Amino acid sequence: MAIPQSFIQELLSRVDVVDIVGRYVQLKKGGANFMGLCPFHSEKSPSFTVSPSKQFFHCFGCGKNGNAIGFLMEHAGMGFVEAVQELANQCGLQVPQDDVSPAERERQAAQKQKQASLSDLLEKAGEAYCKQLRTAPHAIEYLKKRGVSGEISRRFGLGYAPAGWHGLASVFAEYDNPQLQECGLVIVSEEDGRRYDRFRDRLMFPIRNVKGECIGFGGRVFGDEKPKYLNSPETPVFHKGRELYGLFEARQALRDMGYALVTEGYMDVVALAQLGFANAVATLGTACTPDHVQKLFRFTDAVVFSFDGDGAGRRAARKALDAALPLATDTRSIKFLFLPAEHDPDSFIREFGPEAFSRYVGDATPLSRFLIESASEGCDLGQAEGRAHMASNARPLWSALPDGALKRQLLGEIAALVQLDARDLADIWAQEAARTAPLRSSQATARHAPAAGPGAPWDAVPAPDWDQGWSPAGADGHGSDPGYGHAPQGGQGSGWRGKRFDGSRKPWNRNKAGTADWTAPPRGPRTAPATRIDQAARLLMAHMEFMEELTHEDFDALARCSEGHGGLFHWLEAQFTESGPRPWAVLREQMRGLPCEMLADKLMSGPHAHPEGEIDELRRELRGVLNLILVDHLKRQEEQALKDVATDPTAARRYLEFQARRKNLSAIIGSAS
């Protein structure tokens, strides 16, 4: 069957290639990437890298590379459809079963057009609300009392919905347009069919998606009326379980401050931005969902959930814990901040100041501690029954964590609290999981089950190999690289040390002389060195978020490169404008069949295809490459201006401007080197 390309892109944006590869290859953090011994060829030192930012794997030894789908096809022997189905099952998605018909393509195009139309209507309403705010003294007074400046108000596009029932009739000539109801701006009475504005006499907060498009509104009353906050309904462009208020405005701050602060209200986000915490976002009147958490982790590896200290705040925190657990890898930080019951973030920071709030953030409860607190709530750990109750509460929470060091450490901590040996606790949980979990096919069990002992079902909790433990290199005299002795490795005679999935030993291949056999992979023909244009393209495809920092001059210089590179940069700019930054794995799928596909694939598959280093280092590298490209671009403009002097009176002035700009850039390049 043919699977729509749009579905493949959606799937790759939801899965994490590190998690997929990590089930088959022992990975260790190395800078911004993860490294391990390549599962596709024999090697002693790890040359296999997995990039979380690019959502791509690459081996510098044998050259194998690809996305999560490609890895399952190459390593697990799955077909394309089977690999897609496997990943879709993990994400809870339904794979389309039939080829996309012309009618379906037409429907999808119509849906996209409708979404654009609805966003245009919402944008127009937002502009009208902004104008109304200037003539609403009580709304301005409210913002002043909350300490919100005009600059912050403009940044978030705050507005005012007037008190009348038909305020938008003066904004939209066709007030009976059905799309006004569809996008949530207008309500149609079921009794008499009359139309009226949804938002009236409220402070308006436009809700934007990550591309900056207005997709809905939140409206706050000025007194004690109920509901205090009124949100747009679910529409074709707005799904509150997926969107976060303030995320568009907080993008840069998330990177600068290194973490996201998740709050419960619109006003918290605006007030915190005013007081130096521009990294705050808020859920939209709903509990935190896995989609919320996953979206945040595209921008930062650290999230702090901020809740009131009352019962409602604890309940909201527990829902956030459930949403975050499946995404709590060893490289991510998730914390829970509980303020005094009488405070929200806005009131706390006003009374005690930003420094006190920063200290609270620093002292926030780590996910591991909150998990244990949640599991032990209401349990008397001084009694055997209470400890047993806690163990039962902890099992689903612990099982939701991805396998890793955090999960294994927590098993020991929970076991100590319930006064059981960790092996006994793992056995109890495995038996309980086997009793309650649905049966899976034997094929899926054999392919995916971790080493949990003979006959253990896939749903069972894996019992650690406590007696054998890990088999680090050097313990038996077969090498010196620690930490790679226990990962699965396919193929006979691969030279992998440690254990296979079945627990049997797999020694090094040795020849008659007693030395280890190892043959380096063929290197192939020498390739031409990467050009500046190539390196700029690679950096931008690997880290598309860098596009946001390019100037108009940068884009002009890149667009005027050779036809192939220029077309690639034009396409990247269009994709960034439409969809924001996306991993290379998703970009690769989007460009299939396009003229730029061959060039992009060549650049991202070559010997220098995967720029390594810290983000700031790569950002500086790109700036340096762009400056050199600009110098060459300015030289060509100087030459053209000289040719035009005889016929164009302004050419001499342009020549001097280009020359001055080039010399200035050259001086910057010289000082940097």
Q: Does the pLDDT of residue 368 top 90, yes or no?
A: yes
Q: Which residue has the tokens 């909201």?
A: 316
User: Which one-letter amino acid corresponds to residue 143?
Assistant: L
pLDDT at 440: 43
Q: Which residue has the tokens 């493949």?
A: 8
Q: How far apart are CA 434 and CA 423, in angstroms?
A: 16
Q: Are 472 and 485 in contact (CB under 8 A)?
A: yes
Six-digit token string for 175: 């007030």
- Smallest Cα–Cα separation from 10: which of 208, 183, 215, 242? 242
Mean pLDDT of 74-84: 75
CA 148 to mean position of chain CA atoms: 30
Burial of residue 551 (CB within 10 Å: 0-12, 13-18, 19+) is: exposed
* Per-residue exposure over 131-151, b if at least 16 CB sit within 10 Å of its own CB, e if not: ebbeebeebbebbeeeebeee
pLDDT at 640: 87
pLDDT at 530: 67
**Beta-ladder partners of 229:** 220
Min mean pLDDT across 137-141, 515-519, 623-627 is at 515-519
Q: Does the pLDDT of residue 190 top 50, yes or no?
A: yes
pLDDT at 504: 37
* Per-residue exposure over 229-252, b if at least 16 CB sit within 10 Å of its own CB, e if not: bbbbeebbbbebeebbbbbbbbbe
114 pLDDT tier (thresholds 50, 70, 90): confident
127 pLDDT tier (thresholds 50, 70, 90): very high
pLDDT at 218: 93
Residue that wins the pLDDT comparison between 86 and 406 = 406
- Which distant-in-sequence residues (6+ apart) come within 8 Å of 253 by Cβ? 278, 279
415 pLDDT tier (thresholds 50, 70, 90): very high
Other beta carbons less than 10 A from residue 112's beta carbon: 11
149 pLDDT tier (thresholds 50, 70, 90): very high
Q: Are 490 and 39 in contact (CB under 8 A)?
A: yes
Min mean pLDDT across 167-181, 195-209, 387-401, 658-672 is at 658-672
Q: Are 437 and 460 in contact (CB under 8 A)?
A: yes
Residues present in the chain in total? 673
Instruction: State which of 40-44, 162-166, 525-529 shows the largest mean pLDDT.
Output: 162-166
pLDDT tens figures, 456-514 = 333 344 444 434 333 333 333 333 333 333 333 333 333 333 333 333 333 334 444 44
pLDDT at 488: 37
Mean pLDDT of 381-398: 94
pLDDT tens figures, 296-321 = 887 788 999 998 777 788 888 999 99
- Smallest Cα–Cα separation from 534: which of 602, 627, 580, 613? 602
Mean pLDDT of 172-199: 92
Q: Does the pLDDT of residue 384 top 80, yes or no?
A: yes
pLDDT at 645: 80
Min mean pLDDT across 11-25, 327-341, 525-539 is at 525-539
Q: How far apart are CA 501 and CA 511, in angstroms?
A: 25
pLDDT at 1: 52
Q: How far apart are CA 599 and CA 325, in angstroms?
A: 40
Sort residue 212 into left (φ over 0), alpha (ψ -120 to 50) or beta: left
Six-digit token string for 363: 């002292």
Q: Which residue has the tokens 């964590």?
A: 401
364 pLDDT tier (thresholds 50, 70, 90): very high
Sort residue 524 into left (φ over 0), alpha (ψ -120 to 50) or beta: left
Q: Are 624 and 51 in contact (CB under 8 A)?
A: no
244 pLDDT tier (thresholds 50, 70, 90): very high
Residue that wins the pLDDT comparison between 488 and 629 = 629
Q: Does the pLDDT of residue 448 top 80, yes or no?
A: no
Strand, coil or helix: 151: helix
Q: What percent of the chain has pLDDT over 70?
A: 82
- Smallest Cα–Cα separation from 118: which of 43, 190, 183, 205? 183
Q: How far apart are CA 5 and CA 503, in angstroms?
A: 40
Q: Does the pLDDT of residue 174 top 80, yes or no?
A: yes
Q: Does the pLDDT of residue 228 top 80, yes or no?
A: yes
pLDDT at 608: 60
Residue that wins the pLDDT comparison between 239 and 474 = 239
Strands (E), 252-330: 260-263, 280-282, 302-307
Please count the CA atoms within 13 angstroms of the CA of 334 that sit on its side-chain side. 25
Q: How far apart are CA 333 and CA 667, in angstroms?
A: 42
Other beta carbons less than 10 A from residue 26's beta carbon: 21
Other beta carbons less than 10 A from residue 168's beta carbon: 24
- Smallest Cα–Cα separation from 458: which of 472, 471, 444, 470? 444
270 pLDDT tier (thresholds 50, 70, 90): very high
220 pLDDT tier (thresholds 50, 70, 90): very high
Rounded to 5°, the CA angle 25-28-30 comes to 130
Q: Are 570 and 561 in contact (CB under 8 A)?
A: no
Q: Are 482 and 473 in contact (CB under 8 A)?
A: yes
Q: Are strands 260-263 and 302-307 parallel, antiparallel or unpaired?
A: parallel
What is the average pLDDT score of the chain? 80
| CA distances (Å), origin 102, targets 81, 108, 109, 480, 539 | 22, 10, 11, 59, 37
Q: Are 268 and 229 in contact (CB under 8 A)?
A: no
Six-digit token string for 298: 């595209």
What angle, rounded to 10 degrees, do the helices at 345-352 and 354-362 form? 120
pTM as predicted: 0.55
181 pLDDT tier (thresholds 50, 70, 90): very high
Torsion sign, CA atoms 42, 46, 52, 53: negative
93 pLDDT tier (thresholds 50, 70, 90): confident
- Smallest Cα–Cα separation from 407: which of 467, 470, 464? 464
385 pLDDT tier (thresholds 50, 70, 90): very high
DSSP symbol at 326: G
What backbone torsions phi and psi does residue 48 show, to the nearest 5 degrees? -100, 120
Mean pLDDT of 650-663: 84
399 pLDDT tier (thresholds 50, 70, 90): very high
- Smallest Cα–Cα separation from 39: which of 12, 16, 20? 20
